[in-house]
Amino acid sequence: MNSIDTDRIDAADIFLSCSDLTETLDFYTESLGFRIEMIYPADSPRIAVVSGYGIRVRLDRNIDSAPADLSLELAPLEPSLVVRQLVSDDDWGAGRAGMQYRDLIPSRLGGRYIASHIRIPDGGPVPDYVHHHHILF
């Protein structure tokens, strides 16, 4: 077994695959009383992290591993951050309600940080529901 520098462990998540993220989130939050810690990407959610009763569970609708897995998130040895400059129109991806997104932090540092540049090609209003993101900033 490999030795792990436990001082570098930032979090421990149990990874669970799910075919329907909305239905699974409803079960964890409404039936079990878990709290949503994060959900991403914002433009087409596929991963959610919920917590409750002293555990964190990472739900992934596209996971290709065993039904359950444990992952330790290690702090980077040397923090790194890359912010991307707009180079061409090819940098934009399709998002919700006709909006276009591009990641400002390409690696998203493992999902820990997400910064998006969002544009509305035809101007507003946007045919979308009002929502918010719970963040720590």
| pLDDT, tens digit, 9 for 90 and up, residues 20-33 | 888 888 989 999 89
Percent of all residues in the chain with a pLDDT value above 70, rounded to a whole number: 72
- Give the pLDDT score at 33: 92
Q: Answer yes or no: are the C-beta atoms of 117 and 101 closer than 8 Å.
A: yes
Selected residue with higher pLDDT from 13 and 67: 13
Mean local confidence (pLDDT), 75-92 = 67
With bands split at pLDDT 50, 70 and 90, how would you rate the model's confidence at 92? confident
pTM over 0.75: no
* Choices 3.10.180.10, 3.30.565.10, 1.20.1560.10, 3.20.20.140: CATH for 1-75: 3.10.180.10
Is residue 59's pLDDT more than 80?
yes
Domain with CATH 3.10.180.10 in the chain: 1-75
- Percentage of the chain lying above the pLDDT 90 cut: 4
